[in-house]
Amino acid sequence: MTKAMDPRWHDTPWQQALSQSSPAIARLLERTLEGAELGFDEGLALANVESTDLLALVKVADELRRRTVGDCLTYVVNRNLNFTNVCFVGCGFCGFSRGPKAKDAYFHSTETLLGKARDAVALGATELCIQGGLPRDLKGAYYADLLRELHGALPELHLHAYSPMEISYGVEKTGLSLPEHLASLKAAGLGSIPGTAAEILDDAVRGELSPNKLTVTRWIEVIRAAHQAGIPSTSTMMYGHTETRAHWVRHMLLLRDIQKDTGGFTEFVPLGFIHSETRLFQKGGARAGASFAEDLIVHALARLLLNNHIPNLQVSWVKLGFEGALACLEAGANDFSGTLMEESISKAAGADYGESVLPGELRAMIRSIGRVPAERYTTYEIRRRFDTPDADERLPVERMPATTARTPVALGY
Ligand code: SF4
């Protein structure tokens, strides 16, 4: 199904949408515009909106985004490096991992990874995003050694590497304490870590999705230790599987509490569950990903609940598709993620939105919704703002459905 904003939404001012919403929802939305911090019950009420209340939620989230971070819409030129797909953890939602003897199992050599990193630099990348599976026989020193090689060869690249699950595995494999392991990674060139492996920060849900994954307590421990060591991280949430809307709200409020203490999250990234090639879905253990309405609600709700503490809200175009990503960028989000150049994790789970996007394509899409594109660094400093269109800008039309095919789903009209 195409995920696209109903064209009528573009033309509805937020004040009009607010005036058409139910009194209780309108009051909550007005309070967020006044800067109030909403709690669980209020967040849950907003997570369950429909119809005109959904329109008001989206429009107010977009207005709050405009007031907080303006009309500049950022992206990063980066490359994904997945050094191995061998993993013993067995998460039910993962279509990427393989056993060590699988025909398509791989473990790239450091030379190969260096070659991919050099290619990325030649294409203008400022960031490498490095993650992999967890092979049983991995040497603990591997994590720091790889960073040292990459950082030594290409010191200009920001190394955004290793999920809390991988950090925790590194602790186990090296025998170092968590702060010692993080210090050794930082000394080797680590710039920041992806706040992935969060899924839903609820141990019961995690038990259904991936019983061998690190616990909520351990995820928080790793993230707090990283922030304390001066290593920022992203924050994420995977939705659209077995969780309820109450889980979304608790998850976001937990991240907000951590951020109040550490200030170490650079952004929040909602990640829709890609279901088709996963064991979890094939065995009937999860629903088939989020609806378009849920995508909009999650992004808008994140803007309202996190705005004062985590102002950067990123869309994942590999999960949402370009049309869905643009819709969420008009529902409170302000960052388009990155060029990726080689995306394999979502693709392996059944995503069909491509493995890379050109910076000029991102800029053209950003301009198509009336915003100003800007390339950023990993930590959100602006590298270059593009106030006027340039020759490289073109819409990735072959990968976007025709406007006439847009499906205004779940809006209650
Ligand atoms: S999500 Fe990560 S830890 Fe889980 S099976 Fe896949 S590669 Fe392994």
- Residue-wise pLDDT for 370-400, tens only, equals 999 999 999 999 999 999 999 999 998 766 6
Q: Which of residues 372 and 4 earns the better pLDDT score?
A: 372
- Would you state the pLDDT for residue 347? 73
Q: Is 183 in the pocket of ligand 1 (CB under 6 A)?
A: no
Helix pair 51-69, 292-306: axis angle to 10 deg: 40
pLDDT bracket for residue 348 (50, 70, 90): confident
Question: What would the pLDDT profile of 265-290 be if each residue is shown by its tens digit?
Answer: 999 999 999 998 999 999 999 999 99
Q: Which residues pair with 73 in a beta bridge?
A: 373
Question: Could you tell me the distance, in angstroms and rounded to a whole number, from the CA of residue 136 to the centre of ligand 1?
Answer: 13
Beta-strand (E) ranges in 320-413? 335-338, 372-376, 382-385
pLDDT at 83: 97
- pLDDT value of residue 403: 40
Distance between alpha carbon 146 and the CA centroid of its chain, in Å? 24
DSSP SS3 for 10 = helix
Tell me what pLDDT residue 411 has: 37
In the predicted model, what is the mean pLDDT of residues 314-320?
Answer: 95
Of the CATH numbers 3.30.40.230, 2.60.120.1440, 3.20.20.70, 3.90.1150.10, which one belongs to the domain with range 67-405? 3.20.20.70
Rounded to whole angstroms, how far apart are CA atoms 180 and 242?
36
Q: With residue 80 as reference, give the H or E element that holds it.
A: strand 78-82
Strand-strand pairing, 127-131 and 78-82: parallel
Nearest Cα to 324, choosing from 348, 289, 359?
A: 289
H or E element: which one contains 192? Answer: strand 190-192
Query: How far is it, in rounded angstroms, from Cα 344 to Cα 85?
Result: 10
What value does the mean pLDDT take over residues 118-146? 97
pLDDT above 70: residue 361: yes
How far is ligand 1, taken at its centre, from the CA of residue 162, in Å? 12
Q: Are strands 72-76 and 335-338 parallel, antiparallel or unpaired?
A: parallel
Contact yes or no for 69/312 (Cβ under 8 A): yes
List the residue whose alpha carbon is closest to atom 3 of ligand 1: 89
Helix (H) or strand (E) holding 279: helix 279-282
Q: How far is the CA of 288 from the centre of ligand 1 (A)?
A: 19
Is there an atom of ligand 1 within 6 Å of 138 CB? no
pLDDT at 402 over 90: no
What digits encode the pLDDT tens for the residues 31-41? 999 999 999 99
For the CA atoms of the chain, what is the radius of gyration? 20
**405's tokens:** 């095919």
Over pLDDT 70: what percentage of the chain?
94
Q: How many Å lie between the centroid of ligand 1 and the Cα of residue 400?
A: 30
* Ligand 1 binding pocket includes 73 (Cβ within 6 Å): no
Q: Strand 158-161 relative to strand 127-131: parallel, antiparallel, unpaired?
A: parallel
Q: CB of 87 closer than 6 A to ligand 1?
A: yes
For residue 61, report the phi and psi dihedrals to the nearest 5 degrees: -60, -40
* Three-state DSSP class for residue 371: coil
Confidence of residue 407 (pLDDT cuts 50, 70, 90): very low
pLDDT for 405 beyond 60: no
**Shortest-distance atom of ligand 1 to CA 165:** 3
Question: Which atom of ligand 1 is nearest to 85's Cα?
Answer: 7
Q: 76, 260, 269: which is closest to 157 by C-alpha?
A: 76
Q: What confidence score (pLDDT) does residue 398 get?
A: 65
Q: Which tokens hold the place of 260?
A: 């109040």
pLDDT digits (tens, 9 = 90+) for 69-99: 999 999 999 999 999 999 999 999 999 999 9
* 238 close to ligand 1 (CB < 6 Angstrom): no
> Best mutation site among 80, 134, 212, 279 for ligand 1, i.e. most ligand atoms within 8 A of its Cβ?
134
Of 190-204, 228-242, 269-283, 340-354, where does mean pLDDT reach its minimum?
Answer: 340-354
73 alpha carbon – ligand 1 mean position (Å) = 31
- For all residues of the chain together, what is the average pLDDT? 93
For ligand 1, the distance from its centroid to the CA atom of residue 51, given in whole angstroms, is 37
> Cα dihedral angle (36, 37, 39, 44), rounded to 10 degrees?
70
